[in-house]
Structure 1
Amino acid sequence: MKRVYLDNAATTPIRNEVIRIMTNILKYSFGNPSSVQHSYGREARSIIEESRIRIAKNIKASPHEIIFTSGGTEANNLVLQSSILDFGVQHILTSKLEHPSVLQTVLGLYKKYKVCINFIQIQKKGILDLNHMEDLLKKNYLKKTLVSLMYANNEIGNLLELDQVIFLCKKYNAYFHSDTIQVIGNFPIHMDKLSLDFATASAHKFYGPKGVGFVFIRKHFLKKIKSFISGGLQEYGIRSGTENTYGIAGLSEALQLSCCNYYKNIEKIRDLKLYCISELKKIIPDIIFNGLSSDIDKSIPSILNILYPIKKKDHLFYFHLDLMGVSVSKGNSCYSNIPQVSSVIQSITDESLLKKRMPIRISFGIFNEKKDIDVLVTALEKIKTKKNFS
């Protein structure tokens, strides 16, 4: 049976070139990068700093604006917690469509430090009401504010109206943090042109290893940030702990390879998405697409989210697909063990619809082909005819 992997928004397969780089470092460059008194340590330190330079070059940033972390969740935590403890932020403005590493952290900060939290209203299709955002910024103008909004939503694919958000943040002197985890490594991004104060990335979203990522911190903020994890002076004293040398090298190589093929990859994935939309419409005439995921110009090409019609609710639905060789998800992989529909889908969908339909997030990657879509569509057709679902 051919197995088809269509859950690239959760994690991507690691490139062979990246595996080779990492394996070589594991074998031959095992020194502690902080042990610069000898050649083993200096070699490891050199790998990290060369990786930092390459990463910075690929996103058009300065090398010292890149701080390595264990991934996107830690990177988001670092920004949010530092904004309160080191920058004196009194007000956080975000949305209920954010990743749990933002939402849960923000709620924790509210409980611990009594920070004022406001959520931007959500319009139809998961579009943020930027007029409401401006009202909230205006009302809290005297408070130091951090705006935290995802560039590309990891469940419904909606792209943030980035230029307008940046304009409003500048107008009201608010700091701007963007979770760019679905974007960096998949889209060109130029930090020298974008007025982002903080941005986050995770290697396993662009064909690199899990357990490593980075946070971009605009240079004028660096001296203000105290140690997020204490116990050492690594990462400019911001993130203590021996660096993941081979993971960082893998991240750097994966980003480099992605950057060399951005437009070719984007075009391929866009074509896969359009083909998938077309084929799904043939078998589901009343298909409902979640958010803006079917709008090729307003969503990230890699994510398509649908509500699949069934008469009898069955939370083994996704396992049935898996047994038929198709790997998709119901949404955010960080909450996949919870039977309920994700908060993102609940926020934008009528409850009556969710009683009759199951959300499916289909996410494409560079290793997918049109024949993978055909396998998905065939599986959905077969499920449609089974007694439990029809």
Structure 2
Amino acid sequence: MSAPIYLDYAATTPADPRVVEQMVRHLTLDGVYANPASRSHMPGWLAEQAVENARRQVADLIGADPREIVWTSGATEADNLALTGFMRANRARGRHLVTSIIEHKAIVDTAIALEAEGFEVTWLTPGPDGRVTPEQLREAMREDTVLVSLMAVNNELGSVNDLTALSAVAHEFGARFHTDAVQAAGRLALDVEAMGIDLMSVSGHKVYGPKGIGVLYVRRDPDLRIEALIHGGGHERGMRSGTLATHQIVGMGEAFALALDQREADGEHAHALRQRFLDGLSACDGIHIHSPLEQAVPNIVNLAFDGVDGESLLIALRGLAVSTGSACNSASVEPSYVLKGIGVPHSQALASIRFSFGRFTTIEEIDGAVEEIRRALSGLRQPAEATMNHR
């Protein structure tokens, strides 16, 4: 049995072979395997050098200073550290956080946990395009607002927020601005300085790097304080203790360096794939596009299919690897909270699937996927049509 066509790049990307090659060199006795915190011998120095080189590679992609890069176990931990660490450290200044109802669960669940601690959260509802406007944010701001957290790119829709405009509103009220940029890294031009971003979460495995490694960018500012969530050794400027996983860090660094070099080429490739995909499905009736194509990254397309439900369609699409939404929420049989959050009707939300492409997706795979979708729709809709005709 042949492997399914993989169109779930928004959930995770396969590691680029060039990334794996670098990682392997930092695992075994004949490579650079020592603890980077061991500064009393050459192997430790070499490991530290590898970590610092990767720190620079990540910083280069987002326009940061390498000293502003804090290693974490992934973007989920980075989001938790940004929200919980910041709110706890700054509770004397204010206890109000602003975010949106369609953020990634790593933000949503953390904000809910902060509410249980006594912090106040204002939940913004984006427009039908999945974007928050500066005017919406301005209306939500208060004197005691200390942090705004709004994602760069929505992981189910691909919609892109105007981070520069949103951060300007936050700063106008004296608050800090955090963004979950997991789906933006390597796909959008990111410059934390120009965009006015104070905190940014990114991940390795969404950019053709390894899982289990991420970064929280923390602007170097004596007034920006983060309370550590993990203690034991004071690593990462006291913000995140723990022995650094050199091979994963090197992998993320290499992945981000490649993403910087290939961002335009990867973007053109994704645009071509999306156009081919949508053109191929244009002859099918009853398809609705939830993603705002003009204000979205090209690698994510969220579609609804009339006359079917998403779970049945997923089963019928046995030749494709796709999802009904975020991989972090895929165990739920409820419709996507993101689609519900932008006002998609319940029945249509249940009939929606996210397709996401990547660096290694081919035109042939897109054509194969289109044929698979046509076949599945025909098979699922015919019984319903036959029943209606019989009546």
TM-score higher than 0.5 = yes
Match of 1:59 in 2: 62
Q: Alignment partner of 2:205: what SS?
A: helix
Match in the other structure for 1:104: 109
Aligned identity (percent) is 29
Q: Are residues 306 and 187 of structure 1, via their aligned partners in 2, closer, same or farther at CA, if it must alter by over 3 Å? A: same
Q: In structure 2, how many angstroms separate the alpha carbons of the residues matched to 1:269 and 1:221?
A: 40
Q: 2:377 matched to which residue of 1?
A: 384
User: Residues 314 and 360 of structure 1: is their aligned pair in 2 closer, same or farther, counting only changes over 3 Å?
Assistant: closer
Equivalenced residues, count:
378
Task: Find runs of 4+ consecutive structure 1 residues off by over 3 angstroms.
Answer: 349-353, 387-390
2:354 match: 361
Instruction: Name the residue aligned to 1:131.
Output: 135
In the TM superposition, what are the counterparts of 1:1-390 in structure 2 within 5 Å? 1=2, 3-27=4-28, 28-88=31-91, 89-112=94-117, 114-137=118-141, 140=142, 142-221=143-222, 224-283=225-284, 285-292=285-292, 295=293, 297-311=294-308, 313=309, 315-321=311-317, 323=318, 325-351=319-345, 353-354=347-348, 358-387=351-380, 390=384
Q: Distance in 1 between matches of 2:362 and 2:339?
A: 27
Distance change >3 Å, CA 238–CA 30, structure 1 → 2: same
3-state SS in 2 of match to 1:386: helix
The whole-number CA distance in structure 2 between the counterparts of 1:215 and 1:330 is 28
* Alpha-carbon contact 1:121-1:129 (below 8 Å) kept: no
**Distance of 1:319 and 1:75 partners within structure 2:** 34
Gap change, CA 1:55 and 1:240, over 3 Å in 2: same
15 and 352 in structure 1: CA distance in 2 versus 1, 3 angstrom threshold = closer
Conserved? CA contact 1:94–1:120, under 8 Å: yes
Using the TM superposition, give the Cα deviation of residue 299 of structure 1 relative to its aligned residue in structure 2, in angstroms: 0.4
Which digits, 9 at most, give the CA deviation of each residue in 1:111-155, with x for residues without a partner?
01x111111133223232542321111xx1x20421100011000
Give a deviation string over 1:349-376, Cα, whole Å, max 9, x none: 4435438x51110001011122212111
Counterpart-to-counterpart distance in 2, 1:45 and 1:103: 35
- The answer (yes or no) to whether the contact 1:32–1:44 under 8 Å persists in 2 is yes
> Is the contact between residue 14 and residue 209 of structure 2 (CA under 8 Å) also seen in structure 1?
yes
Listed one character per residue, the Cα deviations across residues 244-291 of structure 1 (whole Å, up to 9, x for unaligned) are: 1000000000111111111111111111112212212222x3321114
Given that residues 120 and 129 in structure 1 are in contact (C-alpha distance below 8 angstroms), is that contact kept between their aligned partners in structure 2?
A: no
2:125/2:342 contact within 8 Å kept = no
RMSD, aligned α-carbons: 1.8
CA distance in 2, matches of 1:33, 1:382: 54
Structure 2 counterpart SS, 1:307: strand
Q: TM-score, normalised by structure 2?
A: 0.92
Is the alpha carbon distance of 1:19 and 1:278 closer, same or farther for their aligned partners in structure 2, counting shifts above 3 Å? same
Q: CA deviation at 1:222?
A: 8.0
Secondary structure of the residue aligned to 2:122 is strand
Contact persistence 2:22–2:251 (CA under 8 A): yes
Contact 1:288 1:308 in 2 (8 A): yes
Please tell me whether the aligned partners of residues 307 and 360 of structure 1 are also in contact (alpha carbons under 8 angstroms).
yes
- Given that 2:313 and 2:377 are in contact with CA atoms closer than 8 Å, whether structure 1 keeps it comes out as no
User: Could you say what secondary structure the match of 1:93 adopts?
Assistant: strand
- Structure 1 Cα separation of the partners of residues 310 and 154 of structure 2: 26
Q: 1:25 to 1:333 in 2, by over 3 A?
A: same
> Which segments of 5 or more consecutive residues in structure 1 lack a partner in the other structure?
none
Gaps of 5+ in 2: 385-391
Per-residue deviation, residues 292-314 of structure 1 (Å, max 9, x unmatched): 1xx2x300111000002234x47
1:319 positional shift: 3.0
In structure 1, the residue corresponding to 2:148 is in which secondary structure?
A: strand
Q: What amino acid does structure 2 have at the position aligned with 1:286?
A: G
* TM, length-normalised to structure 1: 0.92
